[in-house]
Structure 1
Amino acid sequence: IGPIFFRQTMVVYLLYIAVALVTFALYRTRWGLRVRAVGEHPKAADTVGIKVNRTRYRTILIGGAIAGMGGAFFTLVSVPQFNREMTGGAGYIALAAVIFGKWDPIRATLAALLFGFASNLQGVLGVLGAREPLPSQFMLMLPYVVTIVAVAGLVGRSRPPAADGIPYQKE
């Protein structure tokens, strides 16, 4: 367990700190209350004086910065070079982690760790020689099968924010 927690790069620790900060900000600050209000019912948020579009754009910029840290991890730590299609569908797995985590930062992080474990398990089983009884394609699809089973079978009811993806126009 020691190497899991204490032999990581600085980017991994920064991302854990970012999860803690985002969770605190979303659930314990006025800004987080406004962001959640804009996501659930933008018209009501506008009625009380919250600038809906400005709040949405700022939140998108913050989310883009955090996603950029994830991209930095891929290009600087995981594979220290940039290749075309280097993520191999990991963006869809990230969306599945958010859905599986029910739009909560800590739950989504735990779901991402589960899917990352499945991805690494595929590599470890391949090295240990578990490929002989199974074709290599089955080992390659292990992370995606775990993702599909988790999202389709184990989530139950996962409700996104009510105004997710709906543009807001002030009347």
Structure 2
Amino acid sequence: MSNLSENRINVVLAAADITAINTAIATILSKVPANTTLTDEQRLSYNAINVANKVFAEDCYTEAQQNGSGIMPGFINLTNMQNDLTVFDQLDLIESALNNVTQRIADAKRIAGHEGYGQANVIYNAFKTANDSGIPNAKASYDKLKVRFEAQGNSTGRPSNTNP
């Protein structure tokens, strides 16, 4: 269980902040090139580009640009290839930044959940102790709360795992 005095997150996001975040997300999505959503099948079939593949693609572009005259067929469009490589780099930077944001949000959720669940177990145990001690009004709350542990097959009505 967490230290009861530790409370790393003790805020509620203001409605205006939630609106600003959602607006920023909508803005990001509106700037991602259109027609870039894949089906699950396409995600499996499209070639992923790793570092080696990216270097190879850039080398091919450079060679075609420098030495391709008279060799490259007319249907090869180097401008399109350059655009693909450029937007890949741009999206890679954006993805990295958004991955950092996503990780921070996941961490904040874990902290808040850990703290909330830890406090819930303390509250539950207080009702259990009060019920076991015959304190008036404790039984109804204890009976309501112990169902959560009984549903896990824990007939003792005690938390078996304090991690959320």
Instruction: Using structure 1 for the length normalisation, give the TM-score.
Output: 0.24
Instruction: Using structure 2 for the length normalisation, give the TM-score.
Output: 0.25
From the two aligned structures, give the one with the greater helix fraction. 1
- Specify the structure having the higher radius of gyration (Cα): 2
